[in-house]
């Protein structure tokens, strides 16, 4: 379990915090949905130790994140910068990282192949020679092959075609550990019905809510007494509530950046 309390992250004294006091516990497979710039990636970077935490605490399986050293099987992630220890081809990089975490290189190759990257192709190219989508595939495959208790996946569906998105979803759903992924794509909800969902808006985190509750949920731009979740965007109240049939379905938005457009049109 990853327990987070009062987590605040600032990039500069005079800048607005990137995370504004996050309190949450991640103990089931979860999706973190939120528009661009809401703080999803920063939250993952803080858990990985890649971003300085200004205040608050992160506990991973009961251990303080700051006190964790050389512990395998706890956390893995698909950030590209994690996989820049050596300038070498992707096959060597997979071999190196799987050795460092006692992971399964075969799983990394299986996932990569499923997503269109053969081993021979990886053997000939360094990670910086791949396209953005291919880099994401290799990093996600290595994260899932590490057999960690917590796998943090930052936008793993980015730049994948629909068929590959479906294949990757199956890998995520069948993973034995805890997968926590962030995205702003809401279509995923239909494929991951046993998962929990958290929302991030304007550097704050809300939830969890079960996917089943969200599949029929509608968005209202006023305070609703029967809301599953209430939050504010651009100072306007937003409620995600059980459907009554006359409001936009959450799953019809495709991505949550649309909430801002809808909020603005409501304000007019």
The answer to whether 1 contacts other proteins (rule: CB under 8 A) is no
Compute how many other C-beta atoms are within 10 angstroms of the C-beta atom of residue 190.
11
| Closer by beta carbon to other proteins, 100 or else 244 | 100
| Closer by beta carbon to other proteins, 40 or else 184 | 40
The answer to whether 100 contacts other proteins (rule: CB under 8 A) is yes
Q: CB under 8 A: which stretch of 25-33, 45-53, 230-238, 239-247 binds other proteins?
A: 45-53
Q: CB under 8 A: which stretch of 73-81, 173-181, 196-204, 255-263 binds other proteins?
A: 73-81
* 3-class SS of residue 87: coil
Could you tell me which residues come within 8 angstroms of residue 177 by beta carbon, excluding any fewer than 6 positions away? 147, 148, 149, 150, 151
| Closer by beta carbon to other proteins, 149 or else 255 | 149
The answer to whether 87 contacts other proteins (rule: CB under 8 A) is yes
The answer to whether 163 contacts other proteins (rule: CB under 8 A) is no
Query: Closest separation between CB of residue 117 and other proteins, Å?
Result: 21
Query: Closest separation between CB of residue 180 and other proteins, Å?
Result: 15
Distance between CA atoms of residues 178 and 165, nearest Å: 19
The answer to whether 52 contacts other proteins (rule: CB under 8 A) is yes
Pull the structure tokens for residue 225.
């007494």
Q: What does each C-alpha distance from 264 to 28, 229, 236, 238, 256 come to in angstroms?
A: 34, 20, 9, 12, 14
Which of 48, 105, 141, 145 contacts other proteins by CB under 8 A?
Answer: 48
* Dihedrals phi, psi of 227, to nearest 5 degrees: -65, 145
Distance between CA atoms of residues 64 and 22, nearest Å: 16
Distance between CA atoms of residues 196 and 176, nearest Å: 16
Buried b (16+ CB within 10 A) or exposed e, 117-126: beeeebeeee
Query: Closest separation between CB of residue 92 and other proteins, Å?
Result: 6
| Closer by beta carbon to other proteins, 78 or else 239 | 78
The answer to whether 55 contacts other proteins (rule: CB under 8 A) is no
CA atoms within 13 A on the CB side of 103: 30
Q: CB under 8 A: which stretch of 74-82, 153-161, 205-213, 251-259 binds other proteins?
A: 74-82
Query: Closest separation between CB of residue 131 and other proteins, Å?
Result: 20
Contacting positions for other proteins (CB under 8 A): 48-50, 52, 65-66, 68-72, 74-77, 79, 81-88, 92, 95-97, 99-102, 148
């Amino acid at each position: 379990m990853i327990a987070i309390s009062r987590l605040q992250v600032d990039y500069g004294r005079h800048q607005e915090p990137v995370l504004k006091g996050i309190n949450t516990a991640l103990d089931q497979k979860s999706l973190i949905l939120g528009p661009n710039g809401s703080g999803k990636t920063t939250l993952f970077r803080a858990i990985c130790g890649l971003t300085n935490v200004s205040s608050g605490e992160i506990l991973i399986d009961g251990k303080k994140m700051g006190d964790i050293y050389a512990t395998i099987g706890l956390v893995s992630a698909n950030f590209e910068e994690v996989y820049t220890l050596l300038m070498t081809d992707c096959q060597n990089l997979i071999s190196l990282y799987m050795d460092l975490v006692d992971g399964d290189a075969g799983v990394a190759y299986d996932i990569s192949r499923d997503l269109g990257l053969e081993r021979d192709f990886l053997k000939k190219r360094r990670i910086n020679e791949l396209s953005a989508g291919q880099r994401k595939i290799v990093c996600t495959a290595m994260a899932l092959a590490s057999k960690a208790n917590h796998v943090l996946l930052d936008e793993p569906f980015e730049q994948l075609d629909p068929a590959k998105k479906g294949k990757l979803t199956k890998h995520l759903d069948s993973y034995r550990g805890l997968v926590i992924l962030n995205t702003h794509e809401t279509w995923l909800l239909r494929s991951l019905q046993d998962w929990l969902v958290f929302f991030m808006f304007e550097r704050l985190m809300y939830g969890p809510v079960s996917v089943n509750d969200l599949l029929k949920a509608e968005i209202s731009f006023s305070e609703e007494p029967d809301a599953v979740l209430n939050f504010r965007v651009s100072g306007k109240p937003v409620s995600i509530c059980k459907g009554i049939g006359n409001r936009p379905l959450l799953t019809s938005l495709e991505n949550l950046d649309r909430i801002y457009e809808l909020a603005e049109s409501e304000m007019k």
